[in-house]
Amino acid sequence: MSDILVTEQSKPGADGSGRPSGRLLEVEDLRVEFRTRDGVAKVINGVTYHVDAGETLAVLGESGSGKSVTAQTIMGILDTPPGFVTGGQVRFHGKDMLAMSAEERRRIRGEGIAMVFQDALSALNPVFTVGFQIAEQFRVRRGLSRADAKKRAIEMLDQVKIPNAKGRFSNYPHQFSGGMRQRAMIAMSLALDPEVLIADEPTTALDVTVQAQIMDLLAEMQRERQMGLILITHDLGVVADVADRIAVMYAGRIVEEANVYDLYAKPAHPYTIGLIDSIPRMDEKGQQLRTIKGLPPNLMNIPPGCPFNPRCPMAQPVCREKVPPLLQVGVSRASACHFAEELVNRD
């Protein structure tokens, strides 16, 4: 079935070597709006990013920045209406998925790109056993028999380190703890061996000790399979631990993109600077936290010019007039700020 999906010249080698120059997954100038009774909310306003095999891209942003809607659009699970794609492309192995038929997209889902959701309890179906929900994919997509599918599903549960996988196969989601449910979700998303995994806030609902377990598991699975991983999160701590590259989103735009070390050492956008400054740090006890003043913009009424200008400590008249494009600053990093050069060259 997979040969329908990928053409011979675009299939990357499993180890990432001999890979053609084409990107694995690219989002280009994506635009999405939500048409509601109260008006049109411009949720995504030209998002461009890509992920390659074996690479972890972290998409960082606060609620309402559009990071999850971008993921939903990639997966083709955007609620329409109210959500409408108004422009841009999502290319998988160079082919625009937004132009594909529903049937073609369905084949990519699971085998090409899979997704792990934040809240495993509501993402799993409560009336089917966990094992059934994993095995179902093998039966429908791989045409395996019931017994073979079960065997493969137990293997998957075992791979994500669920103790007593065989016994757990016939448990329902509510019989699993939060961490185990997230493991089961990961098993389900990896069942068809996807090339790209999108993890949307996979550990936000979990406690720190369990969060560490799940992030380890994701990293291990990615290494083994050389997957491209898109990690969507608001947690600057988790990002620092696992990401290769980071794209920072604000009001439906990428405002900064850089490798993880450059971004933390010298952020090149005032929003990123503000975010990093507002995390409580262990070594600055007692001092006031530096904050970003004000609130994120209303997406139905995004301010003209740079969307961050009303909250920006550096804002100049030009920021209220011209939208700063996402431009290269220095080596392999980009920032959408009129003063990015100055920020990068500061001491």
> Which positions lie near other proteins, rule CB under 8 A?
62-63, 177-180, 207-213, 215-216, 234-241, 243, 260-261, 264-265, 274-276, 278-285, 288-292, 295-296
Cα separation of 22 and 329, whole Å?
Answer: 23
In the bound state with other proteins, the residue whose beta carbon lies nearer, of 98 and 219, is 219
Residue number with CB closer to other proteins (15 or 216): 216
State whether residue 332 is helix, strand or coil. Answer: coil
Q: How far is the CB of 63 from other proteins (least distance, A)?
A: 6
Q: What does DSSP assign to residue 318? A: H
CB of 283 to other proteins, least distance (A): 4
Closest to other proteins by CB, 104 vs 284, is 284
What single DSSP character describes residue 171?
Answer: -
The number of C-alpha atoms within 13 Å of 14 and in the hemisphere containing its C-beta is: 4
Peptide bond into 81 cis (omega under 30): yes
Closest C-alpha among 42, 79, 122 to residue 307: 42
3-state secondary structure of 341: helix
CB of 100 to other proteins, least distance (A): 35
Q: Which is nearer to other proteins, 144 or 210 (CB)?
A: 210
Q: Please provide the DSSP assignment of 282-305 as one string.
A: TTSTTSPPP---S-PPPTTSPPSS
User: CB 207 → other proteins: shortest distance, Å?
Assistant: 4
Q: In the bound complex, what is the minimum distance in angstroms from residue 103's beta carbon to other proteins? A: 39
Q: Is there a contact between 246 and 231 (Cβ–Cβ < 8 Å)?
A: no
Identify which of residues 124 and 273 has a Cβ nearer to other proteins in the complex.
273
| Closest distance of CB 57 from other proteins, Å | 14
N-to-C CA span, the chain: 55
18 or 163: CB nearest other proteins: 163
Taking CA atoms, 133 is separated from 98, 102, 166, 271, in Å, by 27, 22, 14, 41
